[in-house]
């Protein structure tokens, strides 16, 4: 089984964008205050732009785009999307012109949108506040680009595709190696789940190359049944891509931490982020990391999590400067 993953992944093209491995660090002061050993997997330090989890996703997506001889990338999400900003940033690195579709009407340039402006990304707004309005608009923009002779690589919101999920399948191998050197390794990795691609890669990796840790996603946008099904579907499809069937993906998603809505900071999340900043000198973003950490703190305080646990610090620094708003 081990060989199948390595062989399969090795056969899939990847552009090297991230500085890897990212550190696995003990969160010593936070651990003392909780009475639970906590480790941080620092994917905010992936080393391009302001870092973040999606850089791993984009290593496989951009290789796929280059393999298809595309000359531009079209994707979308909200104006404060870390995903679209990193997609644009890394597309440029690979020589592809980025086009981004945002739901809603134009908003002031802050956070990730400000960074898009400095990158020169062509940003289009759908004029419809529905998040799903992006999906049709991406296809429409891609069709227009094809009509003028361009060769777009089209990626859905969050880069949540089987190819994109390979980024975290690979991250699982990296983390597994890091954990194996610890005398008392964490028995779970907690992380934020948005579009689900990050969870899916880890879940597929754990199914194919078993590790003694559970993947626990905390949904920050979709209802639990929807994101659970999405993670399961993506994990299975990612396994198929590398010729290694993922038969029974173990998907564990926690709900109850979205607060008043996706993209809007929650009081529990803000408190969790402040605790982490003041103890560990690490900033958690308000949209993903802060809410996932709120869930983990609750589980530690209730006694549900008592043994060593890992947390994926997934980036999102630009939204610290965007005063909420997805
Ligand atoms: C900072 C950050 N953390 C976590 C996530 C969640 O990742 P996924 O969409 O793969 O579930 C995202 C998604 O954009 C993100 O930007």
DSSP string, 203-239: HHHHHHS--S-EEEEEESSS-HHHHHHHHHHHHHHHH
Q: What is the pLDDT of residue 6?
A: 40
Distance CA 51, CA 316 (A): 8
Report the 10 Å Cβ neighbour count for 302: 9
Instruction: Please state, as a whole number, how many other Cβ atoms lie within 10 Å of the Cβ of residue 16.
Output: 8
Candidates 37, 38, 43; CA nearest to 23 is 43
* Residue 303, helix vs strand vs coil: coil
Verify whether ligand 1 is closer than 6 Å to residue 196 (CB atom). yes
Q: Compute the distance from residue 149 Cα to the ligand 1 centre, in Å.
A: 33
CATH number of the 2-53+161-321 domain: 3.40.50.1100
The answer to whether the CB of 97 is under 6 A from ligand 1 is no
CB 310 within 8 A of CB 188: yes
Distance 151 CA to ligand 1 centre (A): 27
Q: What is the pLDDT of residue 5?
A: 43
Name the stretches of the chain with pLDDT < 50: 1-7, 325
Residue 4: per-residue pLDDT? 37
Q: How far apart are the first and last CA of the chain?
A: 40
Domain ranges of the chain: 2-53+161-321, 54-159
Two tokens, residue 126: 């759908």
Q: Which of 196, 254, 314, 319 to mutate to test the pocket of ligand 1 (most atoms within 8 A of CB)?
A: 314
- Alpha-carbon distance of 318 to 209, in angstroms, equals 34
What pLDDT score does 248 carry? 84
Counting atoms of ligand 1 from 1, which one is nearest the CA of 164?
10
* pLDDT recorded at residue 211: 79
Ligand 1 near 314 CB (within 6 A): yes
**Which atom belonging to ligand 1 lies closest to the Cα atom of 194?**
11
Residue 80 Cβ contacting ligand 1 at under 6 Å: no
Q: How many angstroms separate the CA atoms of 66 and 58, rounded? A: 12
Phi/psi of residue 215, nearest 5 degrees: -95, 120
Taking phi first (over 0 means left), then psi (-120 to 50 degrees means alpha), and beta for anything else, what does residue 246 get?
A: beta
Q: For residues 190 and 292, is the Cβ–Cβ distance under 8 A?
A: yes
How far is C-alpha 280 from the chain's CA centre?
A: 22
Would you name the residues annotated as active-site residues? 81
CATH class of 54-159: alpha beta
Ligand 1 midpoint to CA 221 (Å): 10
Question: Residue 123 belongs to what H/E stretch?
Answer: strand 122-125
Beta carbons of 289 and 264 less than 8 angstroms apart: no
Check pocket membership of 53 for ligand 1, CB cut-off 6 A: yes
User: Does ligand 1 have an atom closer than 6 angstroms to the CB of 111?
Assistant: no
């Amino acid at each position: 089984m081990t060989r199948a993953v390595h062989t399969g992944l090795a056969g899939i093209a990847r552009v090297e964008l991230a500085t890897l491995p990212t550190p696995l660090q003990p969160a010593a002061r936070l651990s003392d205050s909780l009475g639970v050993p906590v480790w941080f997997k620092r994917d905010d330090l992936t080393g391009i732009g302001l870092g973040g989890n999606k850089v791993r996703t984009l290593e496989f997506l951009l290789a796929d785009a280059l393999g298809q001889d595309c000359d531009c990338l079209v994707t979308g999400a909200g104006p404060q999307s870390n995903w679209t900003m990193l997609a644009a940033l890394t597309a440029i690195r690979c020589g592809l012109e980025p086009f981004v579709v945002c739901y809603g009407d134009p908003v002031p340039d802050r956070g990730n949108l400000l960074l898009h402006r400095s990158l020169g990304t062509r940003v289009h707004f759908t004029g419809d506040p529905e998040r799903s309005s992006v999906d049709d608009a991406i296809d429409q923009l891609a069709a227009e680009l094809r009509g003028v002779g361009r060769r777009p690589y089209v990626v859905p919101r969050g880069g949540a595709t089987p190819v994109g999920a390979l980024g975290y399948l690979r991250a699982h191998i990296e983390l597994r190696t890091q954990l194996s050197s610890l005398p008392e390794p964490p028995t779970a990795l907690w992380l934020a789940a948005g579009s689900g691609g990050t969870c899916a890669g880890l879940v597929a990796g754990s199914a194919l190359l078993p590790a003694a840790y559970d993947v626990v996603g905390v949904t920050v946008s979709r209802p639990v049944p929807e994101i659970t099904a999405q993670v399961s579907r993506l994990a299975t499809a990612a396994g198929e891509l590398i010729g290694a069937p993922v038969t029974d993906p173990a998907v564990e998603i926690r709900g109850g931490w979205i607060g008043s809505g996706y993209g809007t900071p929650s009081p529990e999340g803000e408190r969790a982020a402040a605790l982490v900043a003041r103890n560990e000198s690490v900033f958690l973003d308000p949209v993903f990391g802060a809410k996932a950490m709120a869930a983990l703190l609750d589980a530690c305080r209730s006694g549900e999590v008592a043994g060593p646990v890992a947390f994926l610090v997934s980036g999102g620094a630009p939204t610290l400067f965007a005063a909420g708003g997805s």
